[in-house]
Structures are given as structure tokens and as C-alpha cells.
Structure 1
């Protein structure tokens, strides 16, 4: 009996914050007076949460396809990882929610309501989580990047614009960005590769001309072959060397930064 009332309380809590489907009107869940309303509202809320989860999941896959046009193999690997993660999470969610209702007799309305409420809450949380992966920068609030277009398909022209504008860099940097640093190690220094998410990338990645001149840095094109190009930032007579690797899709995209300085 105690468990039954706890289930009702959970259902009521979720109804206050979650939309319901057209099959059961919102106003019918505002003031729940009967157990039948609890059951129907929990089903409606679960359906709404499932729908939102499905939308967030497919929007994420669409973002990956768009953001990784310059490197489709990496984008596909990312998408496969997302799909595997989602399948594993669904199994975990369902197992957790059946555990939540373990003390209630299966098949009873209270059991179904408890499971539905649990699934609703976890699915809403998962939707928020998926929405934060590979965020769509163009849809953000940064007005400086909203109208940025590809500077040029010619790499030299693109690099000149890219190096002078943090706004352009924010748009034409792949997420996650591969960042390679050189670290002290025995018997000799080694390179360590990291994968940076959007909030871990510090712009500008390439200093503008005025700063380069003030610090004695030189930015040059090291190599370009077809749809791949490498630029190098260095300070003569020092060990300061940073390489920027780009891949061309619809536009050039920075995919990897390697800092060789200790």
C-alpha cells in the first residue's frame, strides 16, 4: 500500500511538468481525481517523452552528418558510437524502471504507472543529454557566427580569412577537435592525442596577423594535396611549432591541431 501511494505521487509529479498526447487532453491531467486518470496520464506522458527522445536522437544524427561532411568516415564512426550508446541506454532504462516497480505485482495499474513514470523521467533526462552533444553552432545565440559563410574554396585565401577571424574559426572547426600535444616522458617526449568538445576549445586557435607579428610568429602553408591541407605556425630559431590540418568538404574544415612545443 505504501508503494502504491508512492507511485501515485511520482505520477502526479511528472504530470505537472510534462505534456500529454492528443489522445488524453492536458486539462484532464491538471486535476487528477481518480486512479484511471493517473494511469492514462502516465501513459500519455510516457508517449510524449518517447517522442521527444526520438526527436533528440535523430536530430543528433543529423547534426553529425552535417558537421562531419569534411570527414565522413569519422562522422560515421561517431554515429555508430551514438547508436550503440542509445541501444545500451534503452536497455538500462527499461531494467531500472522494472526494478523501480519490483515490489508491485506485475500487470497491476500501479505497476504500469510506476514504470511509465520512471521511463518518462529518464527519457526526458536523456533527451537533454543528447541535445548537448555536437551542438549546432549556427543555431546558437552568438550573432558573430550566425551569418558566417565559407571564405573561399582556395586554401590560401581561406587560411588568410580563417586566421584573422575568431568567428570564422568557430564555424569551420570540426567538433570534437583532435588536439595533439607533446608531453615530457621517459626516455623521450611523446605525443598525446585528445578529443576536445566545443566548450573545451579556446578561440582563436590561430592568432591574428597583428599578434603573430608582435610575437615573431610565421603562418605558412606547409602542404596541400587535393582536399587535404596543412598550415604551420612557427617561431624561427625556437621549438615553437603548431600544425593545423584541414579537410575540404563544402568548405575547408580544421580537423586537427598538433602542438609540438614542450
Structure 2
């Protein structure tokens, strides 16, 4: 598969992933008519997803604060493990999107494709954290 075909395939897959990633009435950026509009729409959606992610994370950190073994025993509290997991997840998300969008890195649609990847993974993480909020 040549680079142009790969970029087209990834671009189409990224949009399919967006439609699948979030429960929506329809494709969140269906009104976009060109690359610039699609990119701007995805950036707005990513900002919303980041806000949801941060809110969910803060709820869980507060819930698990100092929960667990006494510090004197050398164990971390549950919120400490959550903080480490979140830092690791951010690195994993970014590295995964670097890998998944590599073939399109020199293309004009790279920003859109990369943002779509970040959005999908962030939405998945929000769902994951929300599950813990809903199941204390």
C-alpha cells in the first residue's frame, strides 16, 4: 500500500472511529465540508472530551484520597495509583496515536487524523473512568 492510499485509508478509518467512539445522534462533524472545518470541529470535540476526562478524574481522585494501606507501611493510597495510571495512560494515548497515524504524518490531513485518534482514545478513557464513578 502506498503512502497516499494508506493516508486515505487511515483518514476514512479515523472518521469511522469517531462515529463509533461516542454515543451521538449522528456524526459529530457531519456538517464539515472541508478539511479545515473537520479539523476545527474535531479540536472542539477533543476539548470537550478533555474537560469530561478531567472532571471524571478529579471525582475519582477525591473519592480515593488516602484510601488504602497506611503510608507507614510504604504502600501508596488508591488515589496515588490512579494518578500514576492516568499519567501512564496519557503517554500510552499519545504514543498509540503517533503509531496509528504514522503513515499520514507527511500528509495534509495529518492534523485531522491525529486529532481524531486523540478524541477516540480520550472518549474511551472517559467511559472507563465513568464506570468507576457509577460503580463505587
Residues 150-229 of structure 1: matches in 2 within 5 Å?
A: none
- In the alignment, the residues of structure 2 paired with residue 134 and residue 113 of structure 1 have an alpha-carbon distance, to the nearest angstrom, of 31
- Deviation of 1:99 after TM superposition, in Å, equals 0.6
How many residues get paired? 126
Matched residue SS, 1:29:
coil
Aligned to 2:130: 131
Gaps of 5+ in 2: none
Matched, 1:48 2:48: yes
Aligned pairs for 1:100-115 within 5 A = 100-106=100-106, 108-115=107-114
**Partners of 2:14 and 2:113 within 8 A in 1:** yes
Between the aligned partners of 1:3 and 1:40, the Cα distance in structure 2 is 23
Structure holding more strand per residue:
1
Q: CA RMSD in A?
A: 3.2
Alignment correspondent of 2:30: 30
Does the C-alpha gap of structure 1 residues 10 and 47 become closer, same or farther in structure 2, counting only changes over 3 Å?
farther
Give the equivalent residue in structure 1 for 2:116: 117
TM-score (norm 2): 0.73
Name the structure with the higher helix share. Answer: 2
Distance 2:70 2:39 in 1: 46
Larger Rg: 1
Shift of 1:10: 3.8
The answer on 1:4 being equivalent to 2:3 is no
Q: Would you say the 8 A contact 1:60–1:131 is kept in 2?
A: no
How far the C-alpha of 1:73 sits from its partner, in A, is 4.2
Is there any run of 5+ residues in structure 1 with no aligned partner, and where? 20-27, 138-262
